[in-house]
Each structure stands twice: as structure tokens, then as C-alpha cells.
Structure 1
Amino acid sequence: MTREYDASPDAKRRIDPFMVAVLKSRFEAIVREMSLVVMRASRSAVIKNARDFSCAILTFEHELVTVEDALPIHVMSMDMATRPLTDHFDDIEDGDIFINNCPYTGGTHHADLIMAMPVFIEGTPRFWAVALSHHADTGAPAPSTYLPFAKNIFEEGMHFPCVRLVRKGEVRDDILRIGTMRNRVPDLWLGDVHAQLGACRTGARRIEELCTRYSEQTVLDFIADWFDYGARRAAAAISALPKGTYSYSIKHDPVPGVADDGIPVNVAVHVDPEAGEIIVDARDNIDCVEGGLNLSANTATGSCRIGVFNNLDASIPHNEGAKSRVKVRLRKGCVVGEPSYPVGTSVATTNVNDRLMIAGNAVFSEMGAPYGQAESGSHLPAGVGVISGADPFKGGKTYVNQVFVGYAAGGANHGHDGWLTYCGAANAGLIQLDSVEVDESMYPILIEERGVLQDSQGAGEFEGAPAMYGLFRPIGHDMTIAYAADGTTFPPRGVLGGGDGKASLTRRIDADGSTEDLPAFAEEIIPDGSKLYFTACAGAGYGPPSRRDPQRVADTVNRGWLSQARATQDYGVAFEDGAEPGVLQVDETATDAMRKSASEKARP
């Protein structure tokens, strides 16, 4: 049963506002502690280094209480992954822990193992402590967790469609045997699973302690007030937006054999300021494709919400009350919607899902400045590919891991340039770049270069972030890499007069110096002696470049992200030597003359 949340200014207060602030912080601290357990106890680099995991607390009725440093795509529809547990099990007991990674039972995609533990207070289930981790391998036919060519779930890795892993505190070894038998790196998988177990148990213990200290009723009253507050804040923010229905279209790159012409993504947003509600409609999209690019109902729902919250005040709590002010409309059997069994959803958290979130960010720009965001870069360039092979320094032992050597950049919004370490809309900058030294110590690779590609960003009054590039190679063996570099054909576009960002690129450099541009979606073998070069997508610009503050242009030039030539060409800014050697400053007289001339030429 879903409760009603009171968004009115005179909503009933159950506990003192000071206590609301205290308990809010205590719940956030519990989630932070759970996250630390996952990060420190996990074994795979994709979790412990890149932080591709999230923890959260939900009520036992599946309402989102709190998240802290969580990836948006993991948590904005996490209730969809826990609701089936109470549908499938009528004998949930204290000490039980469940796992779910199946999109057809509410999961995101098969690589995200969602672990949920009921929290009992005085014999009554009150909360769920949830830990989600993206695992390095799931036993798919190919050594990757992203399979754009997998037509159905039978071509993906193992699915646990709401399975009880722990019964009354006792781990079921038979379930773990299934997982380890179907995994290329079983020790890694098992270690990561135990890290999640530890996080769930830590969360449950801390919630029990909280209810003992402040009383169960006080905590439950806090939850009710907290959800009302979230609804009230979200409704107030929506009431300040221009009323109307706005639409935006974007397109995922062509994927040979899956979507030869690309996948269009359309989204419409209906803003009702009087009701303090937004409806996001993603039903006007094509049917499911024969590949792994279809979204799950979880990711499609969450991504529609994320686009809205990215355009509201960041201080609004992302709890169930706030979520209730955003309604989502999806269609069954749709590539952006609820998939029809058994179509593939292996890439449901990135790619087409990124495009949906990017459209959700950008659609608000149809309201005009200062609303909306320019398009950001997309996921899965080769810099975040899944690498695998036989490690020559460990007796040929198999390794599989997703690296984060370099990833996509963020688009600009009003008042802010794009975020360099953005990665993708699903992550909102929370996925961390790998340490070069740590990657090289864990895997038989050498990362020769990683940097910022000058002049790649979309120009604008507010500038997109430039692209990252990198060059790495295997040592003493042939390395396989799987990637899905969206943004190679259709790079990020600017809004309200902003310029486009640079496209992604993947290239192999052989020992003799010859080069070959590689497909955007592929599983490639990089032979010993060859190197892999990539550029990720740059972010797009927001607003006309002619309005950019010349000093901000000079700052970007002095940082090395923008050349003098491009600064003059795109922004009409001239430079002269500054007081400090090697630092340029704006030549205000020449800049004013150039911009005045350009403005006169632009007049009809």
C-alpha cells in the first residue's frame, strides 16, 4: 500500500523539526557506513575503485527513505526491485537476505546484484537495508557485463529473480555455488557478494540501534514527516516552473544488426504548477529491439525521474515524498519502457538509458533560459570497456574487469560549465576515475596516456566540458576489450545556441605504427604489442558563445583546454601577454571590436 504524502504548507507535524534534522542525518550516516563496508570489503576494481555501487534504506512498504552518494540510476526506482520480494515471499523473517538482479522482477540489469535485508523492530518488519553492486562478471557468453548484441536473457549472464540467499541468518551455500560455478572470476564474485552481505547487516544493526535510542514511534513519525517534507519541497519547486507540455528528441547511434539506423528516444514533460506535479511521458518510442539495448522498467522509470530532479533545486530530498510529485508514463514492449520477456536488457543502465536521461535534462531548455541542460556525453567508450584475458604474471589466471581510464564529459547548464569527470547521466559524476597505478598493479596493462583533448568541448555562453582521451595496452598477452561507444555517430548537441561536443572515437595502433579505426560497438582483441587509443564524448554548450564572459574564455585557454585560435574563432576573444609569464589575458579593446563586428554582420 502506498501512503499519501501531504505537500501542503500547513501539513501536520508529528515531531519537532529539530529531531527531523537529527534523524535525517542519522539515516544518511547509516547509508554512508554501509557504503564504506562495500567499498572496503569488495574485491573487484569496478566496485572498490570506480565505486559502481549504491546503498539505500527503504521502508518495508518499499518507500525510499534515504540515499547518500548513490548512483541515481541505482536508487531512483529501487522500490521496483524490492516490491516483488513481498509478492513472492509470505514468510519473510528476521535475518533473511534476498538477492535480485533480474529486470523481469524489477532489477536494473543482470550485472547489478541488488541485495535487500528486512529490518525487524520489536518483531515487526519496518525497513529494508539495500546494497547494490555492479559485478565484474555474471557468466555471460562473452566476458562482459554489457552485451548490446544479446537478443534475449538466454544470451546474458545469470539471473537471480528474487532469491533468498540467507535464511534466518544462515547463508545458503547452494545459491553461492550457482554463482561461483557460472563465473569467470568466482573468488572475485564471492568476495563482492560477502561485502554486500556485510553492508546489509551493518545497515540493519544501525537502524535497530536508532530505534532503540529514539524509540520506534519517533522514528516512524520522522519517516512520515520526512516524506511530507520531500513532497512539499518538490511541489514548491515545480510550482515555480512555466506551465506547459515540452518535448525533446534525441538519437542513439546505429548498432549493426540491432538498430541499423539508430534508436530515436522521445520524451514529453507536462508541467502542472498549480498541482505541483510533473508527468514524464516516454510512450512515444519504438518497440523493443533485438539486442541488449532495451531498458528495464526499473531504469526507464528511474531515468524519467532523474531528468526532472536534475532540473530542480539540488537541496530537495530525494525521498519517496519528492518522487511522488513526478509521474511516469511508459509503454509495455517498448525500447524505452517495460520490456517484453525475454528480450535482452544487458545494457539497460547506460546507452539508450543515457539518451533518455539526457533528453530529460535537455527538454527543460524548451522553456528557454535559465532552464534545462545541454546534452552530455554517453556511456561505454573504450576507456570504460570491460577488459579480460590470461594474466601472464599470475600463471595465466583469467581476469575480467571494467576499467575506468577515461569517460564522457558533462554538458553545460545555465550558470555552469560542464563537468569534466561526469562519466554519464546515470552516474552524475559519482563514478570515479581509476588510479593508473592501481589498475596497472591489478591487471597486466600499461596506461601510457590519459588527458583532456583540447578544443573538443561544445562552445556556449556556458561551455561543455572537453573530452577525455587515453592510450593503453596489454603486457605479455592478447587482451580482449568489450565496449559500446555511443556518441560516435550522434555526438552531444548544444541547446539555446550552444555548440556540439566532439564525438567518441576508438582506434587500434599496431606495433608497426599503423592504425585502424575500430567499430563503435564491438568486442575486440588487442594483441600484445598493439595499443588502444580512445576519446570519449565531450559535453555540449548552453547559450550563444558570443555571450560568454571573456575572462572565462581566458581561464579555459590558460588551463590548456581551449586553444587561442578556437577562442578567437568561437568566442571573438583576443589576447595579450599577461603579467605572469606564460599566462594570457583578455585584450579588451580588440575583443570589443571583434564582437561588435560579428554582431553587426549577424543583423538581418
Structure 2
Amino acid sequence: MTEDVAAGSAPAPDFDPVLMAVLSSRFEAIIREMVNTVMKSSRSTTITNARDFSCGLLTYDHRLVCVEEAMPIHVTALELTTAPITRLFDDVKEGDAFYSTSPYYGVTHHADMTACVPVFCDGEPLFWTLARSHHTDTGAHLPTTMDAYFRTVYEEGLHIPALRFQENYADKADLIRLCRENFRVSHLWYGDYRAQMAACRVGERRLKELSAQYGLDLLKDFVAAWMAYGERRAIAAIRELPAGTWSHTCTHDPIPGVAEDGIPITAHVTTDPEGGWVTVDLRDNPDCVPGGVNLSEACATGSGRIGVFYNLDPTIPHNAGSAGRIRVLLRDGCVVGRPTYPVGTSNATMGVNDRLINAIQTAFAKMGAPYGLAEGGVEFGSNMGLISGTDDRHGDPQPFVDGLFLALAGGPGLHGHDGWLTYEAPNGGGILAIDAIETDEAKYPVLVESRHVAKEAMGAGQWNGAPSMEGSYRPLRGPITVAYCSDGETNPPRGVLGGGDAAPARNVKRLADGGEKRLPGFHLETCAPGERMCFRTAGGGGYGDPHARDPQAVAADANRHWLSPERAEALYGVALRLAGNGVDWEVDGDRTAALRQR
């Protein structure tokens, strides 16, 4: 980094700002085309319905150029995915494509299988195109990709440590055969794999066209100027923060046999406005635990950046320049650091990872209003269960395995804004989509009986956290297995600056006789015909004193049926009465003033 960039002066080299805007949009358009290729060509509902995938572009020397509407955890440390390739292979050439599932080679966790293609322009390697998709099976001994009880990589299924899967633009047949004979419902994997490769090749073609149109030298100058611009924007945003060190601890729920007392996750955040730096120190955390909830280095690094980016201007370009202003300090063998091979990391993108992002974003709230966020809802319960079984609706029984995304956790309150209802979790930040029920029911023998916003389930505040969602589903034919890891049942997301805590998550099986069986948080359950899986997601924590909330906003919550008049009075000091239409609630101004003066 040059001194003039650190000082926030004009970019070096000089670059026409209008052309910079044009080219940055062209790069974003390339990623959007890659994204559409994956979404329209994949086979699993996890990708096509819930959108659990991301694409990105990097320079050949592993600097992030840009991303476009991607899962934050997928793309915020992409350099760790491509760097092992050039370290392992000294003969990377045009027409190659590499594939990796290993968290020890820069992948977030082994279900986020990742395709990488080197892009040569006029014979010179300039870029990488990358497509990362969450696949629904990895060949583990249980029909799930994520399990808190997978203690080592040997239990997680097939690991692919950054191998060359294509040469001269053609698949290596032996590697494809290896995968297809290790994964359940292998045609599903292969369809999703081909969609990823197609997206990377689309990106490759478009970058070559861009190079032919503008020339190599101009593209190189653009990348340098774009990185410098991202860095300057990040520095300017950091200079708006107060200086100091703030800390916060979140606690992951207990996991019997893995972490009996839960896992406390602490983030120390130091802001240096004068220098334009934010340092996130994660070294003061427990060692790796004997289960699948340890973070990969990609998740720990990415989440360290995500928690900071959530507190900066969202229009800052997310590239290597802006990311370089965030220092993330890790240690080896730490549950939120660099894992020691072969400890398990199957749950690395969620659970402990979500608690880490919460700890960072909430540490900013220690600065006082208007900074920081409350804790966001965590995942994933049976609402996002990985289901498997046999489908005989169309003749011969066919096995299936795929993910349901029927409901998402609630977002945190922040200064000026209530939480986002379909937030999902800190690692996704609203990018993951909620399932279309009709698609799930068409593809698999399940019936979704209900899905709705839960009442009295949000963290109260001047700005509320989003409420939980509730629902139920059942098998239509034979039994199904449902695998899930439901954090947030014992330790629900907390509010900040006087805000209230969210409702906890909950998982229940309703039995055929109408009785209910409370299910463990980290579990694989068999659900037989006549039985139902019932869920409640975690809501988001509230921000600020609930008695400072606008009374009209409280009335609006009651009219959405998210809040009862009794709770409006008890939590917010707002008295409600029926409006003249006899249906809606309105604010009783006199009683509200009296309540808030107590």
C-alpha cells in the first residue's frame, strides 16, 4: 500500500472515474451472469430454491476484485481458496478447472464445494472465476452435510483438496467417477457441479471479451485503481468511528458430548481512525472442540471482516482494497482460528461462526448509539433440515436427499431500523432465500402444513429485532430423516443498549396421537407418516430502550399480529385501543403518556 492511498488522496495510477464506474459495472454484470447460470442450471433445491451459492472474481495473484449479491461467508476470504492452487500446481494453464471441498485448502466447509477457473487473456493469466455452491451430500456416513458430532474430517465424507478436475476444457472422467460413486443421489451432485463449471466458463468468456475490447494494460490499471478506491472508501468510513477497543462475548448453545457448557466466543475490536484500521482479535477464545463446529480459516477470516463490514457504509466496494483495512488476528488450534488437522469443521459456516459475527457486530454497540447492531438470529433448526428418504410417487422408489429452507431466523435491530424478517443468520445477512413451498412439495414427498410469523417473538427495542417464524411439515409416503443443528435454544440472540432478547429457537415432533416430543438441538430425527416436524426459529435482538419506540410503530406491530396489546403496554409503555372499524389497533395517546411517565 502506498502512502498516498493510506492518506486518502487521489488513486495511483490516475484513472478516469467515469471509466472506472463503467468497468466496475461490467465486472458486476459478469458475476450476475455467472450467478444466473448457477441458479438456472443447478438441480438441488438448496441452490435453485434457497440460493445457497455465490460467485466471485479474483486477480490471478489472489486479490478479490468484486462480488455481486453473494452470501457474505462464501466470498469474504476467497483469496484463501485460490492461493493453494498456485502453491500446489506449477503448470496451471488455459482450459484448466480446479475443484475443492476441503476447509484445509481454503474452502469454508466441505459442503461448500468450489470450482475455480484460471482466466488467460492473450496468453497471460489475469483472473480467477469462482463458483461456490452448498451441495446436499458429501458422502458422510449419515445423510447430512453438517453435524455437530462429526469429530474429524474422516467422518465428514469425501474431501477433495484442490484437484484439477478439468484439463483442455474437459472433465477428468476418473475424478467424476470417484465423486459419483461416493455421493448419494449422484446425479444431483453432478448437475450442480456442471452448473458451477458452466458459470466459471461464462465468466471466463466474458473476461476475455472485456480484455479484447479494452486491452490488458487498461484492465490492469483499472484493477489497481479499483483496489485503491475500495481502500480509500474503507479508510474514510473508519475515520468516522471513535477510537478505542471494545469487546463482546456471545455463547453458543451447549452440545452434549462436545461442549457441555456451551462455547463462549469473544471478539476484541480495536478501531484506529487516524490510521484507517480496524483490528479484530480472535485469539482469546477456546481451543478446537471434538465436534463439527470448529471454524475453518476461511470462515474465521471472512467472519472477522463481515462483522466489521456490517458496521461500515454498505456502498463501500467489497474488494481486496477495503478488506485489507481490516486486520483479523487468529491463532492455530482455536475454535475460531486456524483448525488443527483433522478436527471437524462441517458446521463451520454457521453456529459458532454466527456467534462470532454477532460478537463483532455487537462490540461496535459498546461505542453507544448510533453504532453497532444487536445479535442476529442464529440457525439451523428443522426449519432448515436436511431431509432424506425414498420417493415412490412416480413408480419405482427413488432415494432423495436435499435441504429445506422453510423459514429463516430474524435479523437484529440497529439504529434507525428494525431487524430484517428473512435475515437467515449473520453469515448470510439476508441473501439466502426462503423456499417456495410448492417447489419443495413437488420435488419431495412432504407436505408443509404451516408457515407464519411467530407472535411475541421479537427482541423489543427502540428498533425491534425481527420476530421468529414458526411452522410444521410432515412426510406423505414413507418416513423421512431430518438432520439439523439448532443453535439459539438455550442462548437466544441478545439485545443491546437496553434492547430485549429475542425468542429462542425450538424443535418439536408432534406425534400421531397429538402428543409432542421436544427434540434435542443437535440431532437427526426420523419422522414417520402421521408425525410432524414443528419448528420455531430464533428472532433478532432489540436495539435501544423499548420505551423510546415510536408508539405508531408499536401499533403497526400489533396490527401485523406480531404483538398483543398487553405486551405492547408491558414492554413499550404503549396503550392501544380498538379503532373505529373495530378491527385495527390505534394508540391511546393519553394512557401512553401516563405509562411512559412512570
Shorter-chain TM-score tier = over 0.9
The residue type paired with residue 549 of structure 1 is D
Q: Measure, in 2, the Cα distance between the counterparts of 1:3 and 1:42.
A: 43
Shift of residue 13, structure 1, vs aligned partner: 4.3
Q: How does 1:88-107 map to 2 (within 5 A)?
A: 88-107=88-107
Q: Measure, in 2, the Cα distance between the counterparts of 1:40 and 1:571.
A: 46
Shift of residue 211, structure 1, vs aligned partner: 1.1
Cα deviation, 1:249-284, whole Å, max 9, x if unaligned, reads 010000011111111101101110110001100000
* Contact residue 5 and residue 228 of structure 1 kept, 8 A: no
For 2:54, what is the secondary structure of its paired residue?
strand
Shift of residue 6, structure 1, vs aligned partner: 2.3
Shift of residue 105, structure 1, vs aligned partner: 1.1
Q: Residues 202 and 243 of structure 1: is their aligned pair in 2 closer, same or farther, counting only changes over 3 Å?
A: same
Q: Measure, in 1, the Cα distance between the counterparts of 2:43 and 2:431.
A: 19
Report the more deviating stretch, 198-207 or 162-171: 162-171
**Which residue number corresponds to residue 382 of structure 1?**
382
Q: Measure, in 1, the Cα distance between the counterparts of 2:277 and 2:567.
A: 43
The residue type paired with residue 6 of structure 1 is V
Q: Measure, in 2, the Cα distance between the counterparts of 1:339 and 1:467.
A: 33
* Contact residue 4 and residue 10 of structure 2 kept, 8 A: no
Report the more deviating stretch, 77-86 or 214-223: 214-223
**Which residue number corresponds to residue 411 of structure 2?**
410
Cα deviation, 1:425-466, whole Å, max 9, x if unaligned, reads 111111101011110000000000000011111111000101
Q: Percent identity?
A: 48
**Which residue number corresponds to residue 6 of structure 1?**
5
Q: Residues 4 and 74 of structure 1: is their aligned pair in 2 closer, same or farther, counting only changes over 3 Å?
A: farther
The residue type paired with residue 263 of structure 1 is I
Paired residue total: 596
**Which residue number corresponds to residue 602 of structure 1?**
none
Q: Measure, in 2, the Cα distance between the counterparts of 1:554 and 1:107.
A: 46
* Contact residue 5 and residue 321 of structure 1 kept, 8 A: no
Q: Residues 186 and 544 of structure 1: is their aligned pair in 2 closer, same or farther, counting only changes over 3 Å?
A: same
Q: Measure, in 2, the Cα distance between the counterparts of 1:456 and 1:11.
A: 48
Cα deviation, 1:353-397, whole Å, max 9, x if unaligned, reads 010011111110010111010111111111001000111314221
* Contact residue 252 and residue 487 of structure 1 kept, 8 A: yes
Cα deviation, 1:560-587, whole Å, max 9, x if unaligned, reads 1111111111011112333545222111
Q: Residues 51 and 5 of structure 1: is their aligned pair in 2 closer, same or farther, counting only changes over 3 Å?
A: farther
Q: How does 1:462-477 map to 2 (within 5 A)?
A: 462-477=463-478
The residue type paired with residue 414 of structure 2 is N
Q: Measure, in 2, the Cα distance between the counterparts of 1:3 and 1:58.
A: 21
Report the more deviating stretch, 161-170 or 387-396: 387-396
The residue type paired with residue 476 of structure 1 is R
Cα deviation, 1:468-493, whole Å, max 9, x if unaligned, reads 01110011111100000000110011
* Contact residue 551 and residue 586 of structure 1 kept, 8 A: yes
For 2:132, what is the secondary structure of its paired residue?
strand
**Which residue number corresponds to residue 400 of structure 1?**
401
For 1:389, what is the secondary structure of its paired residue?
strand
Shift of residue 217, structure 1, vs aligned partner: 1.3
Q: Measure, in 2, the Cα distance between the counterparts of 1:331 and 1:132.
A: 26
User: Could you state the TM-score of these two structures normalised by the residue count of structure 1?
Assistant: 0.97
For 1:6, what is the secondary structure of its paired residue?
helix
Note if 1:288 corresponds to 2:288: yes
Q: How does 1:186-585 map to 2 (within 5 A)?
A: 186-394=186-394, 395-585=396-586
* Contact residue 15 and residue 218 of structure 1 kept, 8 A: no
Shift of residue 148, structure 1, vs aligned partner: 0.8
Cα deviation, 1:490-513, whole Å, max 9, x if unaligned, reads 001110000000001110111111
The residue type paired with residue 81 of structure 1 is T
Note if 1:588 corresponds to 2:589: yes
Report the more deviating stretch, 394-403 or 110-119: 394-403
* Contact residue 97 and residue 164 of structure 1 kept, 8 A: yes
* Contact residue 5 and residue 227 of structure 1 kept, 8 A: no
Q: Measure, in 1, the Cα distance between the counterparts of 2:114 and 2:379.
A: 21
Cα deviation, 1:231-251, whole Å, max 9, x if unaligned, reads 000011111101001100010
* Contact residue 458 and residue 541 of structure 2 kept, 8 A: yes
Q: Measure, in 2, the Cα distance between the counterparts of 1:537 and 1:580.
A: 34
The residue type paired with residue 458 of structure 2 is Q
Cα deviation, 1:81-110, whole Å, max 9, x if unaligned, reads 110000000000011000111011111111
Q: How does 1:52-71 map to 2 (within 5 A)?
A: 52-71=52-71
For 1:81, what is the secondary structure of its paired residue?
helix
The residue type paired with residue 285 of structure 1 is N
Shift of residue 157, structure 1, vs aligned partner: 1.4
Q: Measure, in 1, the Cα distance between the counterparts of 2:29 and 2:188.
A: 28
The residue type paired with residue 123 of structure 1 is G
Report the more deviating stretch, 392-401 or 497-506: 392-401
For 1:179, what is the secondary structure of its paired residue?
helix
* Contact residue 270 and residue 279 of structure 1 kept, 8 A: yes
Q: Measure, in 2, the Cα distance between the counterparts of 1:266 and 1:89.
A: 38
Q: Measure, in 1, the Cα distance between the counterparts of 2:334 and 2:589.
A: 54
Shift of residue 12, structure 1, vs aligned partner: 2.5
* Contact residue 568 and residue 576 of structure 2 kept, 8 A: no
Q: Measure, in 2, the Cα distance between the counterparts of 1:557 and 1:590.
A: 17
Q: Residues 319 and 4 of structure 1: is their aligned pair in 2 closer, same or farther, counting only changes over 3 Å?
A: farther
The residue type paired with residue 164 of structure 1 is R
For 1:23, what is the secondary structure of its paired residue?
helix
Shift of residue 399, structure 1, vs aligned partner: 0.5
The residue type paired with residue 283 of structure 2 is R
Q: Measure, in 1, the Cα distance between the counterparts of 2:11 and 2:151.
A: 50
**Which residue number corresponds to residue 600 of structure 1?**
none
* Structure 2 alignment gaps of length 5 or more: none
Q: Measure, in 2, the Cα distance between the counterparts of 1:150 and 1:340.
A: 15
Shift of residue 228, structure 1, vs aligned partner: 0.4
User: Could you state the TM-score of these two structures normalised by the residue count of structure 2?
Assistant: 0.98
For 2:393, what is the secondary structure of its paired residue?
helix
Shift of residue 5, structure 1, vs aligned partner: 8.9
**Which residue number corresponds to residue 601 of structure 1?**
none
For 1:291, what is the secondary structure of its paired residue?
coil
**Which residue number corresponds to residue 16 of structure 2?**
16
Q: Measure, in 1, the Cα distance between the counterparts of 2:392 and 2:169.
A: 40
Shift of residue 207, structure 1, vs aligned partner: 0.5
Q: Residues 83 and 401 of structure 1: is their aligned pair in 2 closer, same or farther, counting only changes over 3 Å?
A: same
Q: Measure, in 1, the Cα distance between the counterparts of 2:539 and 2:162.
A: 39
Q: Measure, in 2, the Cα distance between the counterparts of 1:136 and 1:418.
A: 29
Q: Measure, in 1, the Cα distance between the counterparts of 2:381 and 2:528.
A: 19
* Contact residue 473 and residue 531 of structure 1 kept, 8 A: yes
Q: Measure, in 1, the Cα distance between the counterparts of 2:569 and 2:296.
A: 46
* Contact residue 488 and residue 505 of structure 1 kept, 8 A: yes
Q: Which portions of structure 1, spanning 4 or more consecutive aligned residues, are displaced by more than 4 angstroms?
A: 2-5
The residue type paired with residue 516 of structure 2 is T
Cα deviation, 1:299-344, whole Å, max 9, x if unaligned, reads 0000010000000010111011000100010010011100000000
